[in-house]
Amino acid sequence: GQQLNQSPQSMFIQEGEDVSMNCTSSSIFNTWLWYKQDPGEGPVLLIALYKAGELTSNGRLTAQFGITRKDSFLNISASIPSDVGIYFCAGQKVFWVKAAGNKLTFGGGTRVLVKP
Amino acid sequence: GAGVSQSPSNKVTEKGKDVELRCDPISGHTALYWYRQSLGQGLEFLIYFQGNSAPDKSGLPSDRFSAERTGGSVSTLTIQRTQQEDSAVYLCASSRNRGWRGYTFGSGTRLTVV
């Protein structure tokens, strides 16, 4: 079953605001990934993190891989309307010796909506 | 192709019927994954193919679900005797090597069982 707890489940943004979401796990992952999904589309990779403590930016997005390897956060600065969508964290256990599939375990998603 | 292509994009079927969902991965990608996304939920792993190795079927929810990948390229996910709880979006993804830098998803097939 799902092992990643993602919060908040939903949030409202106003243009220009910074937003933050995070993901925690009961087990260790070697890689953390953040995806965004628009309606009717598959998830698109935003940021990948490979090392505990790593802080990585992609434009207005910043993500960190927690030191314990059990958590990660994603920040969006100066939000714009097209930031609306569902954001998923995903953890990956990478097995170098055997092709264990490197399947992703996903969080439940954070739905980002525009403040009415 | 340029992206992962899935067909059909939408499928409505009657309970008890069999369905086949198709995935055409990015050319040259050796790894192919199937995930299921139920309404308002995250993605649930179903099955993984890597080259000519035996697939990892550990995520298939029941023996009504099966998948094959012919010639290391196109994959078909088959659901036999569909049930209403099978209604979901079925997403396919592919990657180079073993996908350790994440992978590219298709737009999915929305399956509705009535």
* Interface check A114 vs B, CB under 8 A: no
- Position B30 scores a pLDDT of 87
Mean pLDDT across the stretch B91-104? Answer: 82
pLDDT at residue B97 is higher than 90: no
Q: How many angstroms away from the CA of B65 is the closest CA of chain A? A: 18
**Residue numbers in A near B58 (CB within 8 A):** 101
Which one-letter DSSP state was computed for residue B55? Answer: P
* Token pair recorded at residue B92: 């396919």
- If you measure CA to CA, which chain B residue comes closest to A46? B102
The residue length of chain A stands at 116
Over the stretch A57-73, which tens digit does the pLDDT of each residue have? 999 999 999 999 999 99
Percent of chain B having pLDDT more than 90? 72
Return mean pLDDT, chain A: 89
* Token pair recorded at residue B83: 């049930």
* Interface check A106 vs B, CB under 8 A: yes
- Position A34 scores a pLDDT of 96
Q: How many angstroms away from the CA of B97 is the closest CA of chain A? A: 10
Q: In the structure, what pLDDT confidence band is assigned to residue B71 with cuts at 50, 70 and 90? A: confident
Alpha-carbon radius of gyration of chain B: 13
Q: In the structure, what pLDDT confidence band is assigned to residue B54 with cuts at 50, 70 and 90? A: confident
Are A84 and A11 contacting, i.e. CB atoms less than 8 angstroms apart?
Answer: no
* Interface check B44 vs A, CB under 8 A: yes
Give CA–CA dist B23/B90, Å, rounded.
Answer: 10
Q: How many angstroms away from the CA of B93 is the closest CA of chain A? A: 9
Q: How many angstroms away from the CA of B81 is the closest CA of chain A? A: 24
Q: Among B54, B81, B85, which Cα is nearest to B68's?
A: B54
- If you measure CA to CA, which chain A residue comes closest to B91? A42
Helix (H, G, I), strand (E, B) or coil at B86: helix
**Residue numbers in A near B100 (CB within 8 A):** 31, 92, 94, 102
Lowest-confidence region among B41-50, B83-92, B95-104: B95-104
User: Which residues in B38-82 belong to E strands, given as ranges?
Assistant: 43-50, 65-69, 75-79
- Position B1 scores a pLDDT of 56
pLDDT at residue A110 is higher than 90: yes
Q: Among B45, B57, B81, which Cα is nearest to A106's?
A: B45
Over the stretch A70-106, which tens digit does the pLDDT of each residue have? 999 999 999 999 999 999 999 988 655 455 567 889 9
* Interface check A23 vs B, CB under 8 A: no
pLDDT at residue B11 is higher than 60: yes
pLDDT at residue A2 is higher than 60: no
* Interface check A2 vs B, CB under 8 A: yes
Q: In the structure, what pLDDT confidence band is assigned to residue B66 with cuts at 50, 70 and 90? A: very high
